[in-house]
């Protein structure tokens, strides 16, 4: 793709990088076939190629964003399926993130929308604030059936069970069972702790059972992904910098073999710290170190190999949903399914598994109609497998899928913990034949 940036524009590192990405695109259009929003809407501007053109025009003209550009960029899920498809290797992820930052700096959103985005960016990354928000919204959540759109989506989320602090959240060192094979730091996350504390608890049990000393470092907090993908660059980068510094301190003090994420959206963010923080004089080195050591929990368990497997009873088949942030963002697809199979589960792949479920961080709250259509499509694909329950590696996907199907939804690590001596996942308690 030809670009027309001026020399003064290209002197700015962010625009120079955007120019390189834009010039990589060869207009082939293969990305259209795997883009969820293009499949739903059929509008070129809601495809990766169309959005690239919109971003190019906006940046070349050094123009403020307008309602049209904002609408079509906002509709992008950042599922990154286009990057898996693209034969030219277009770095769409960083291009669309740059565009989102430009939009937030230059476009005055309607007041209600601006307030909602500010609230999500300010509250959800902080566990205790999120807990208070869920508690305060418990009464109004009963009215969710009366509302459509964003308000209905928010109230439905607020109506989900939420939980107080788990023992895993506090800074600590949890010793390995038996000889220590690895020393790993756990990113406990933010919203996941509130909605599903059992995920991190299962991760700690299965990791320590397989010889990992697990460290929960002090001062990590949110990885910054939620705010970053909302275009709130200052807040997202500050959170990423704090997390990187905390992990780097732990690595310097006791050494680390890996930094483990149980939410694949967070893991994708950690693996991008080297890029995100490269111009941050204070945190660039720490960001690069975190990016090098970041691993999804399935990667670590795959390296270790499952041990202590109990003789499996007759277990119902499980449908494995591969989160976009795992299969497209981190290029991890084999390990979770292989681990589940090794643990004695009959694993069924979901048809059209490359298509997003519609969660995408805060997308299901900001774009509820599109998210709802994608969620219903994903649920139908899952149910077509005749599986008894669903496994996924990302809390956002788990919440989204559970909204659209009655099948129990569990995290992959919960099943691996169960198969190697841990408790049955809470979501499966009602399965008679499990």
- Measured CA to CA in angstroms, residue 245 lies from 149, 270, 401 at distances of 39, 12, 34
Rounded to the nearest 5 degrees, what angle is found at the Cα of 194, between the Cα atoms of 172 and 322? 95
Quick check: 273 and 211 in contact, CB under 8 A? no
Residue 149, pLDDT score: 79
Residue with tokens 């009655």: 406
Domains for the chain: give ranges and CATH numbers: 7-106 (1.10.1060.10), 111-158 (no CATH), 172-302 (3.40.50), 309-428 (3.40.50)
Burial track 391-428 (b if 16+ CB lie within 10 A, e otherwise): bbbbbbbbbbbbbbbebbbbbbbbbbbbbbebeebebb
Cβ-based neighbours of 233, under 8 Å, separated by 6 or more? 101, 104
Low-confidence ranges of the chain (pLDDT < 70): 311-314, 430-434
CA geometry: angle at 277 spanning 271 and 280, to 5°? 165
- H/E stretch holding 318 reads strand 318-321
Contacts of 44 (CB under 8 A, 6+ apart): 32, 38, 50
DSSP of 342-359, one letter per residue?
HTT--EEEPTTTTS--S-
Query: Which two three-digit tokens encode residue 315?
Result: 């277990």
Report pLDDT for 155. Answer: 76
What local confidence, expressed as pLDDT, does residue 313 receive? 64
Q: What is the pLDDT of residue 363?
A: 94
Please answer whether residues 237 and 223 qualify as being in contact, where contact means their C-beta atoms are separated by less than 8 angstroms. no
């Amino acid at each position: 793709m030809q670009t027309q940036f001026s020399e003064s524009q290209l002197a700015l590192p962010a625009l120079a990088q955007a120019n390189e990405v834009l010039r990589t695109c060869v207009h082939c259009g293969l990305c259209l076939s795997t883009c969820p929003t293009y499949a739903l809407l059929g509008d070129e501007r809601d495809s990766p190629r169309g959005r690239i053109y919109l971003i190019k025009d906006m940046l070349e003209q050094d123009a403020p964003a307008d309602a049209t550009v904002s609408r079509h960029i906002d509709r992008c899920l950042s599922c990154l399926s286009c990057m898996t498809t693209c034969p030219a290797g277009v770095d769409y992820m960083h291009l669309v993130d740059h565009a989102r930052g430009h939009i937030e700096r230059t476009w005055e959103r309607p007041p209600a929308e601006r307030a909602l985005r500010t609230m999500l960016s300010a509250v959800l990354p902080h566990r205790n604030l999120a807990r208070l928000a869920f508690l305060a919204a418990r009464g109004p959540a009963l009215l969710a059936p009366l509302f459509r759109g964003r308000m209905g989506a928010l109230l439905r989320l607020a109506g989900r069970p939420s939980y107080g602090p788990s023992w895993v959240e506090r800074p600590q060192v949890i010793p390995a069972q038996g000889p220590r094979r690895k020393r790993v730091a756990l990113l406990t996350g933010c919203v996941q702790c509130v909605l599903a504390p059992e995920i991190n608890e299962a991760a700690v049990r299965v990791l320590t059972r397989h010889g990992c000393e697990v460290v929960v470092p002090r001062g990590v907090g949110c990885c910054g992904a939620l705010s970053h993908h909302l275009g709130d660059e200052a807040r997202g980068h500050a959170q990423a910098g704090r997390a990187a510094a905390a992990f780097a301190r732990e690595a310097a003090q006791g050494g680390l073999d890996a930094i483990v994420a149980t939410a694949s959206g967070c893991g994708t963010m950690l693996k991008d710290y080297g890029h995100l923080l490269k111009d941050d004089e204070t945190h660039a080195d720490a960001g690069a170190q975190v990016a090098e050591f970041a691993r999804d929990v399935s990667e670590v368990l795959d390296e270790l190999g499952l041990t202590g497997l109990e003789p499996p009873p007759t277990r119902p088949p499980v449908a494995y949903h591969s989160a976009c942030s795992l299969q497209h963002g981190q290029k991890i697809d084999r390990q979770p399914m292989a681990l589940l199979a090794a643990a004695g589960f009959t694993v069924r792949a979901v048809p059209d598994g490359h298509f997003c479920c519609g969660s995408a961080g805060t997308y299901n709250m900001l774009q509820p109609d599109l998210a709802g259509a994608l969620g219903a499509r994903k649920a139908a694909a899952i149910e077509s497998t005749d599986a008894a329950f669903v496994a996924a590696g990302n809390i956002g996907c788990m919440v989204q899928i559970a909204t659209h199907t009655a099948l129990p939804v569990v995290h992959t690590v919960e099943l691996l913990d169960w198969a190697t001596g841990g408790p049955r996942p809470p979501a499966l308690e009602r399965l008679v034949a499990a």
